[in-house]
Amino acid sequence: MTDKQRRIVQRDCEEVCDELSKQLESLKGSTILITGGTGFMGTWISEIAAYLNDKFDYNLKLYLLSRYAYKFKEIAPHLALRHDISLISNDIANVFELPDDIDYIIHAASSPDNRLNASNPMKVYRTNVIGTNALLETASRLSTLKRVLNVSSGLIYGAQPVDLTGIREDFLGGPDTNTAMSTYVEGKRMAEVLCSIYRSQQRMDIVTVRPFAFIGPYQKLDQPWAIINFISDAINGGPIRILGDGQTIRSYMYPSDMVAWILNILVNGQCGNAYNVGSDDEITLIDLARNIASFFPQKLEISSNLAPVSNRKSRLIPDVSCVENALKLRAVVKLEEALKRSIEWFKDGSV
């Protein structure tokens, strides 16, 4: 992580934390366990928590549980060495004991990377289903635990009908079960069922978030997302390559907004509810590629396969009216600004 990248993240934290510090008063002095804590989401939550501690005396204590916790010193050394952040190296499926001072759990262990889903679907299943069960069983014995926030996925809704503007939390869709590529999504659906079981039988306070797509610092240029591929192509001089005809519709949220929403839901969400987390500012992939190209001084070629990858139009946009109305949350960083900041981050890290 370069000094410039560090300053970018600090700026992002400063932008949201003044308001957050007023919204999250009940979190002061709390201890939070984050499973998958050294991943993209966990790292960003750690950044925000550290800023709240340093600037607003929040006195938060974090445990970051991850199979590869030791690598956190390479990802974010300034966080890994903090006294208010402790690393726990363990596989979520092997969790049978946790520190006894935990007040909140944010369960974010798992990866939506389709490469892992394709190469080792049993590992994906083990993390999402067996891991969630192990965590909840262990957490049910914690005397100080107030709430678990389960991180599910917007993919659990299955294919979005093209004529549906945005997917609401009560949309009853689902993925194709006759393929191993559905392992991640079905695992997330089962994890939600497990949360319902523990909420009912163990009277655990559990709330769920269903994240959609994000773009920003701490993502990596080798990740297999279209938006990441476009930025990587542009940094390397082009062409920006689109798989298909470019009419796929997506939306992207900046990570500082993501964390602001997640922490608000952790504190103020209603037990048993699920909340979409993402942007409803939709864009086609061809327009996304053009927007990314506009941030570079040289003229970049944009190439596509012309024909769609399949006959089914692909659209994945959340309806976020529930979060906006019930919790009064709004995304601060719009797409154009999110792209500008992300490209700034990636370019500096690629030098």
Residue 105 bridge partners (DSSP): 33, 148
Q: In this predicted structure, what is the pLDDT of residue 351?
A: 47
Question: Which bin fits 24, alpha (ψ -120 to 50), beta or left (φ > 0)?
Answer: alpha
329 contacts 24 by C-beta, under 8 angstroms: no
240 part of a folded domain? no
**Residue 309, pLDDT above cutoff 70:** no
**Residue 49, pLDDT above cutoff 70:** yes
Percent share of the chain, pLDDT over 90: 88
311 band by pLDDT with thresholds 50, 70 and 90: low
Nearest to 346 by CA among 236, 250, 263: 236
| Residue whose token pair is 């591929």 | 229
Taken as a whole, the chain contains a residue count of 351
Nearest to 119 by CA among 183, 60, 214: 183
230 part of a folded domain? no
344 part of a folded domain? no
Cα dihedral across residues 134, 138, 139, 140: positive or negative: positive
**Residue 341, pLDDT above cutoff 80:** yes
Domain residues for 155?
3-214+254-279+318-333
248 part of a folded domain? no
3-state helix, strand, coil in the chain (%, to 5): 45, 15, 40
Mean pLDDT, the chain, rounded, equals: 94
Cα dihedral across residues 16, 318, 215, 274: positive or negative: positive
83 part of a folded domain? yes
**DSSP notation for 283-329:** EEHHHHHHHHHTTSSS---EEE-SS-SSSS--B--B--HHHHHHH--
| Residue whose token pair is 């944010």 | 106
Beta strands 61-66 and 85-89, pairing class: parallel
Please state the domain count of the chain: 1
**Residue 106, pLDDT above cutoff 90:** yes
Q: Per-residue pLDDT tens for 141-168?
A: 999 999 999 999 999 999 999 889 999 9
350 band by pLDDT with thresholds 50, 70 and 90: low
**Residue 129, pLDDT above cutoff 60:** yes
What is the Cα–Cα distance from 86 to 83, expressed in whole angstroms? Answer: 7
Q: Per-residue pLDDT tens for 237-246?
A: 999 999 988 9
Q: In this predicted structure, what is the pLDDT of residue 312?
A: 61
- Determine the average pLDDT of the residues in 118-146: 96
Q: Per-residue pLDDT tens for 165-201?
A: 999 999 999 888 888 889 999 999 999 999 999 999 9
Nearest to 251 by CA among 225, 224, 220, 282: 282
Nearest to 281 by CA among 336, 343, 326: 336
What is the Cα–Cα distance from 35 to 149, expressed in whole angstroms? Answer: 11
351 part of a folded domain? no
Cα dihedral across residues 65, 125, 151, 208: positive or negative: negative
* Cα 59-61-63 angle, rounded to 5 deg: 170
- Determine the average pLDDT of the residues in 291-318: 84
Beta strands 104-107 and 85-89, pairing class: unpaired
Q: Per-residue pLDDT tens for 4-47?
A: 999 999 999 999 999 999 999 999 999 999 999 999 999 999 99
Q: In this predicted structure, what is the pLDDT of residue 348?
A: 86
348 part of a folded domain? no
Can you give the CATH number for the domain in which 80 is found?
3.40.50.720
293 part of a folded domain? no
**Residue 269, pLDDT above cutoff 90:** yes
| Residue whose token pair is 């922490």 | 263
What is the Cα–Cα distance from 48 to 9, expressed in whole angstroms? Answer: 9
